[in-house]
Chains A and B, each alone.
Chain A
Amino acid sequence: MKKPVLILVILIIIMISLFGVRTVVSNRISTSGVALGVTEDEIKTYKTENALLREKIFGFASFTHVSSIAAEMGFVESKSALAISRSMPIARTQ
Chain B
Amino acid sequence: MRYRIVLGFFTFVFAVIVLRLFYWQVVKAEELSKLGQIQYGTSIKIEPVRGEIETSDGFPIVANKISYLLFVNPKEVKDKVNTAKFLAENLEIDRNFLENQISQDLFWVPVKSGIGPDLKKQIEAKNILGVGFEQQFERFYPEASMAANLLGFVGKDEAGNSKGYSGVEGYYDRLLRGKTGAAIQIHDALGRPILARANGDDSFGTDGKSLILNVDRSVQFLAEKKLKEGIEKYGARGGMVGIMDPKTGNVLAMATYPSFDPKKYQDYTDDLYKNAFISDLYEPGSTFKPLIMSAAFNEKLLTPQSRCPRCSGPVSVGGYELHTWNDKYYPNTTMLDVIEHSDNTGMIYAAQKLGLAKMVNYLDKYGIGKITGIDLEGETAPLIKPKNEWYAVDLATTGFGQGINVTPVELLTAFSSIANDGIMMEPHVVGKVLDENGKISTIKPKELGRPLSSATSKVMTEVLVNAVEKGEAKFAKIKGYRVAGKTGTASIPVAGHYDPNQTIASFIGFAPASDPKFVMIVIVDRPTSSIYGAETAAPIFFGIAQGLFTYYGISPE
Contact = CB atoms under 8 A, between A and B. Distances in A.
A63 B258 CA distance: 19
Interface string A64-94: 1001000000000000010111000000000
B465 interface: no
Contact-residue bracket for chain A: 10 to 19
Contacts of B59: 58, 61-62
Contacts of B135: 48
A54 interface: yes
Given A81-B549, A83-B556, A63 B60 contact: no
A64 B556 contact: no
A29 interface: no
B221 interface: yes
B106 interface: no
B203 interface: no
Interface string B123-150: 0000000000001000010111010000
B476 interface: no
Query: In the complex, which of the residues A58, A67, A84 has the most CB atoms of chain B within 10 Å of its own CB atom?
Result: A58
Contact-residue bracket for chain B: 20 to 34
B90 interface: no
Interface string A10-37: 0000000000000000000000000000
Contact of A84 (B63, B64, B140, B555): B555
A57 to B, nearest CB: 9
B122 interface: no
Interface of B: 59-60, 63-66, 117, 135, 140, 142-144, 146, 217-218, 221, 480, 546, 549-550, 555-556
Interface of A: 48, 51-52, 54-55, 58-59, 61-64, 67, 81, 83-85
Closest 5 CB pairs of A and B: A58-B142, A62-B142, A63-B221, A51-B66, A55-B65
13 contacts: A51-B64, A52-B117, A55-B63, A58-B63, A61-B142, A62-B59, A62-B142, A63-B218, A64-B146, A81-B546, A83-B480, A83-B556, A85-B480
